[in-house]
Amino acid sequence: MEKKINIRSASLEELIPIFEAFGEKKFRAKQVYQWLWKKNASKFEDMSDLPLALRAKLDEKFHIDFLSIKDQQISSDKTIKCAFGLEENKVVEGVLIPTTTRTTACISSQIGCSLACTFCATGKLKLLRNLTAGEIVDQVVYLKNQAETRYQKSLSNIVYMGMGEPLLNYKNVLRSIEMITSEEGLGMSPKRITVSTAGIAKMIKKLGDDQVKFNLALSLHAANDLKRNNIMEINESNNLETLKEALVYFHEKTGARVTFEYIIFKDFNDSIEDAQELAQFARCVPCKVNIIEYNAIDEGGFQQADARKVDAFAKYLESKNMIVHVRRSRGKDIDAACGQLANKNNAIKKEERILKA
């Protein structure tokens, strides 16, 4: 039996000749495309304005790579953590983070991760595969619906800061953003979307070449190579000088400001000397800095920095006329905070604990 094709892997231009081969008009392809990306249909039988015969033909040739909900937890601070089931009985997670000023969906791009950052629970998992564009969009749609129905708020921001390295799933990540921002999809502004990378220099340059409109964040966490090598293996092949060159190239191509993410660890990267190194490195491009408090994970080996040192660190950067935000963790009580997911979820069997960071 011929293997079914994932219909969401095809562009509208690729679907049109398929429909013409079925003896259908072009507008049928557009109808299906809208069902897939705007109405988020999970089954062909739900496409009610298509003839039954066409729905049957589609079901014979194609399948829809749709996520299901395996589990959901709600934090005392209203953060929602959702475990999404995939076709091969694996799980990824998305998190909805509501605040007084914004409602953010934090989504995954891969099942597992290959980068093994020492402070991140997801880094302790094996990379199984990339998520498809459809699977990425499904996370956004579900979290968007949760924001609207549970909190009566529109989804204001999307961050690709979950499980996986987005730039190692470049094609599907950019395709998902295309569908989130296009009129055929969700119609969100790309300025509301941030893609976070651990630092793949050649792919940062490719973002510049593609002149992307969304925001770029670099998970920096240390501004000298010795320390960064110690916590992020990727730095050994993409050191700070290489990253600086890539960021300058990206800014020259796009004109966009870069965000530096800096998890601050006790007695590791929380000194004024560390702040000086960060300020020196960050001069390479217009930027802002998000200082993130560390959230403990199993066998993490780090501790949360003292609040007074965090404040002193931030004040030093501000004295250098840098834009600085100290990000407090959300969803700690359900292990939904930054870096915590993938190690605790009582509703899912241990072998299925492949959860987003």
- The catalytic residues are 93, 338
How far is it, in rounded angstroms, from Cα 82 to Cα 217?
Answer: 24
φ, ψ for residue 136 (rounded to 5)? -70, -45
| 238 burial level (CB within 10 Å; 0-12, 13-18, 19+) | buried
Distance set, CA 53 to CA 14, 34, 59, 69 (Å): 21, 19, 10, 30
- Whether 90 and 111 have beta carbons less than 8 Å apart is answered as yes
- Whether 263 and 294 have beta carbons less than 8 Å apart is answered as yes
Query: Which residues share a beta bridge with 159?
Result: 106, 194
Helices marked H in 300-351: 307-319
- Whether 32 and 22 have beta carbons less than 8 Å apart is answered as no
User: Which residue in 122, 214, 144, 208 sits closest to 175, CA to CA?
Assistant: 214
Instruction: Read off the DSSP letter of residue 3.
Output: P
Hey, what are 339's tokens?
């870096």
| 107 burial level (CB within 10 Å; 0-12, 13-18, 19+) | buried
- Whether 160 and 133 have beta carbons less than 8 Å apart is answered as no
**Residue keyed to tokens 């969803």:** 331
Indicate the pairing of strand 103-106 with strand 110-111.
unpaired
Could you count the other beta carbons within 10 Å of the beta carbon of residue 53? 10
How far is it, in rounded angstroms, from Cα 246 to Cα 252?
Answer: 10
Hey, what are 200's tokens?
């793949």
